[in-house]
Amino acid sequence: MSEWLSGIEASEAGHRLALWLALSAAFLHAVFGALQKGRHDPWLTRGAIDVFFLSIALPFALFVVPWPEPHMWLIFLGAGIIHLIYKLLQAWAYTKGAYTVVYPVVRGTGPLFAVLGAYVIFAERFTFLQWVGVAVLLAGIFGLAVYNLIFLETERDTLNAALGFAVLTGLFVALYTTFDAYGIRATENPFTFLAWFFVVDGVIMPFIAARRWLRMDHPPDLGPLFARGFFGGVIGIMSFGSIMM
């Protein structure tokens, strides 16, 4: 599979595949975000999701994909730290603000920072029409946030904090997207990066969520929580894997 992906790089087929993977990732990420913000506490849901990140990826990392090159471990450490900060910021944003306001701001700032990062770090250059496309994308996403902000009736007292966390989360979305793009290009087999990334990414949040669950006066039942975590884990792997491919 990795040889086939390398073979279509920079080809018309590769461009079409990249477009469909990006669109799939966008749709799946919206579903993923709704799952985290939904029925349960966002911290608990994220912890349950990461349990399945780890449990699904570990067999592939140990027995299927090639072992990472020595230089990759430092990259995995950097990716793990960046994603942990991103997840903490996102959980705080979801705790303090409505999903229909927070999520568009996160997804609106992420592409802007990612384009700037690609320009500075990867020396990618964009045409005028591409910049217009970025502007239209940002106008649509932020327009949705503004509309929901105007008609929002709940959680207005914590809205400023939620928006602040949302912007910071968007910054870290761009940061992890750029850093992970570097990481997946730094190894010979991209599936090695994906498998070990999900192992590293799934370690910390389950402990944070477990600590929060134990301190709750009325903690939720674990069955429905882990069911949501399983679906979130599968969708998250598909979403992140698509955008990295």
Give the tens place of pLDDT for each residue, 179-212. Answer: 998 899 999 898 999 999 999 999 999 999 999 9
Pick the residue with more confidence: 139 or 66? Answer: 66
Q: Note whether 113 and 171 are within 8 A (CB).
A: yes
Quickly count: other Cβ atoms within 10 Å of residue 173's Cβ.
Answer: 22
Q: Which residues contact 58 (CB under 8 A, 6 or more apart)?
A: 199
Domain ranges of the chain: 14-244
Quickly count: other Cβ atoms within 10 Å of residue 176's Cβ.
Answer: 23
* % the chain with pLDDT above 90: 33
pLDDT of residue 17: 81
Instruction: Give the integer Cα–Cα distance in Å for 159 and 147.
Output: 14
Reported as a pLDDT band with limits 50, 70 and 90, residue 130 is confident
pLDDT of residue 239: 86
Examine the pLDDT at 34 and tell me if it is beyond 80: no
Instruction: Give the integer Cα–Cα distance in Å for 234 and 86.
Output: 19
pLDDT of residue 38: 62
Tell me the pLDDT of the chain averaged across its residues.
Answer: 84
If you average pLDDT over residues 63-82, what whole number do you get?
A: 95
pTM value surpassing 0.85:
no
pLDDT of residue 134: 82
Q: What is the pLDDT of residues 163-183, one digit of tens each?
A: 888 888 888 988 888 899 889
Q: Which residues contact 43 (CB under 8 A, 6 or more apart)?
A: 91, 95, 208, 209, 212
Instruction: Give the integer Cα–Cα distance in Å for 45 and 225.
Output: 7
